[in-house]
């Protein structure tokens, strides 16, 4: 019985560490956005496409990070998408948790994605790289 408890605790610890390591990390992604998701078609620069919900507490933090970056960096647009109102896009983009943030390049392709609250410095660096590409 003791071994079973230890095995369950070890598995839970490993799962928690993996979750923590991935939360908020921007990772390379790919694919195109479904048509009509962006307000004016493909962006002129970089679009921070933030999937949110009214009941999502971390979404407010992502909103603040993205709004600050869009205000400070020329060519960056922040767009919030209510996940409940765009279920087809959520399914098509394989979004399972909120908040999810997609960094979309000027060609309308998803350059990076993250689940959770991204680090401000990492997001700024990523946006700068995508703008330069």
Walk me through the domains of the chain, giving residue ranges and CATH numbers.
Answer: 25-132 (3.40.30.10)
Strands 46-52 and 76-82: parallel
pTM of the model: 0.79
Residues 67 and 78: beta-carbon distance below 8 Å = yes
pLDDT tens profile 88-125:
888 988 888 999 999 998 888 899 999 999 999 999 99
pLDDT band at 43 (very low <50, low <70, confident <90, very high): low
Distance CA 98, CA 103 (A): 15
Contacts of 68 (CB under 8 A, 6+ apart): 120
pLDDT tens profile 45-82:
899 999 999 898 999 999 999 999 999 998 899 999 99
């Amino acid at each position: 019985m003791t071994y079973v408890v230890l095995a369950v605790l070890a598995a839970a610890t490993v799962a928690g560490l993996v979750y923590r390591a991935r939360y908020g990390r921007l990772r390379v992604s790919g694919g195109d956005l479904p048509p009509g998701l962006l307000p004016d078609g493909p962006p002129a620069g970089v679009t921070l496409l933030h999937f949110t919900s009214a009941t999502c507490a971390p979404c407010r933090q992502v909103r603040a990070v993205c709004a600050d970056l869009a205000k400070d960096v020329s060519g960056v647009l922040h767009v919030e998408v209510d996940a409940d109102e765009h279920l087809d896009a959520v399914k098509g983009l394989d979004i399972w948790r909120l908040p999810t943030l997609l960094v979309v390049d000027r060609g309308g392709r998803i350059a990076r994605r993250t689940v959770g609250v991204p680090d401000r410095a990492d997001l700024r660096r990523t946006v700068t790289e995508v703008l330069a590409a």
